């Protein structure tokens, strides 16, 4: 385990691959960087893989809520600066995708290409996020876990005998309430439409065909904001294709980075 204080918060991270081109992974709400295990393993031969738990998630420090998206963006920028990363391809899932978009806008020097998975320039409504914050702060994250799992995973994956599904449910429910509610506030207040529209870099937008959180049409609308961005749908996957269909995610990322000559 490796920890670093970056932007005033202690972040848990992993850095493997030495001098190879950097590939950064930013995870979704209610998860930690282990959701990328299969994808990271498939790409580790070619890239310096950097994964981290964002503020309030996994083993990273949970500061008091609410958070702003700029907090998460500044955390990642400080981590990359401290690790000596000068240019990277950034893979972001859900809120991690907004963090990636925000980083590309705030620190374009750090971002060479974007892989935006199951995300958007704006996700949800004030009413939705306020309701989510109220539920987890009064009744705990377990009170919303069934609804979240239905959006995260396909019915086939949610089979009672799937031990992995049980494990990811536990990952969600063990997330810090401060970290979860704080990041819900960041999502509520974030609208990156115009800053993302101004981006000029290679990008691919990927989504599971059964994503219940950021459906394909929403992710398609994100791809249309970024000139030249690719759009791909992964069959038989919900909001977390990196878990349900890691091989498909690996192949899409590898092909995209080869096309952009990021190596």
Query: Pairing between strand 22-26 and 88-93?
Result: parallel
- Report percent pLDDT > 90 for the chain: 97
Rounded to a whole number, what is the largest CA-CA distance in the chain?
49
- Give pLDDT tens digits along the chain (263 positions): 899 999 999 999 999 988 999 999 999 999 999 999 999 999 999 999 999 999 999 999 999 999 999 999 999 999 999 999 999 999 999 999 999 999 999 999 999 999 999 999 999 999 999 999 999 999 999 999 999 999 999 999 999 999 999 999 999 999 999 999 999 999 999 999 999 999 999 999 999 999 999 999 999 999 999 999 999 999 999 999 999 999 999 999 999 999 999 87
Strand pairing partners for 250?
A: none
DSSP state of 109: G
**pTM (predicted TM-score):** 0.98
Structural domains for the chain: 2-259 (3.40.50.1820)
> Dihedral sign, CA of 146, 247, 32, 102?
negative
Contact 141, 176 (CB under 8 A): no
Contact 52, 79 (CB under 8 A): yes
Q: Which residues contact 214 (CB under 8 A, 6 or more apart)?
A: 94, 118, 119, 120, 123, 207, 239
Contact 26, 54 (CB under 8 A): yes
d(C-alpha 252, C-alpha 263), whole Å = 15
Owner of token pair 């702003």: 68
Contact 239, 168 (CB under 8 A): no
DSSP state of 33: G
Helix axes 69-82, 95-106, angle to 10 degrees: 70
> Dihedral sign, CA of 55, 240, 50, 71?
negative
Check residue 15 and give its pLDDT: 98
What φ, ψ does residue 6 adopt, rounded to 5°? -135, 130
Owner of token pair 């791809």: 223
d(C-alpha 142, C-alpha 94), whole Å = 20
pLDDT in tens, 25-59: 999 999 999 999 999 999 999 999 999 999 999 99
From the CA atom positions of the chain, what is the Rg in Å? 17
């Amino acid at each position: 385990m490796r920890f670093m204080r970056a932007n005033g918060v202690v972040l848990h991270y992993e850095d493997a691959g030495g001098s190879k081109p950097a590939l950064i992974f930013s995870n979704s709400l209610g998860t930690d960087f282990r959701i990328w295990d299969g994808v990271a393993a498939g790409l580790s031969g070619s890239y310096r893989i950097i994964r981290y738990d964002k503020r309030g998630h996994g083993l990273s420090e949970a500061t008091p809520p609410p958070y702003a998206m700029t907090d998460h963006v500044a955390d990642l920028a400080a981590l990359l600066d401290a690790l000596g990363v000068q240019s990277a391809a950034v893979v972001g899932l859900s809120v991690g995708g907004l963090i990636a978009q925000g980083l590309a806008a705030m620190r374009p020097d750090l971002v060479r290409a974007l892989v935006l998975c199951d995300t958007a320039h704006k996700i949800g409504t004030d009413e939705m996020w306020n309701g989510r914050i109220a539920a987890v702060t009064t009744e705990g994250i377990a009170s919303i876990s069934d609804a979240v799992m239905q959006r995260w995973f396909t019915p086939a994956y949610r089979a009672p005998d799937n031990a992995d599904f049980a494990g990811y449910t536990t990952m969600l429910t063990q997330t810090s309430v401060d970290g979860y509610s704080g990041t819900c506030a960041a999502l509520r207040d974030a609208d990156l439409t115009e800053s993302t529209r101004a981006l000029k870099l290679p990008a691919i937008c990927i989504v599971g065909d059964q994503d219940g959180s950021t459906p394909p049409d929403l992710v398609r609308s994100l791809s249309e904001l970024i000139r030249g961005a690719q759009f791909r749908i992964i069959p038989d996957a919900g909001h977390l294709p990196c878990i349900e269909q890691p091989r498909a995610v690996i192949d899409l990322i590898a092909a995209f980075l080869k096309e952009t000559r990021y190596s």
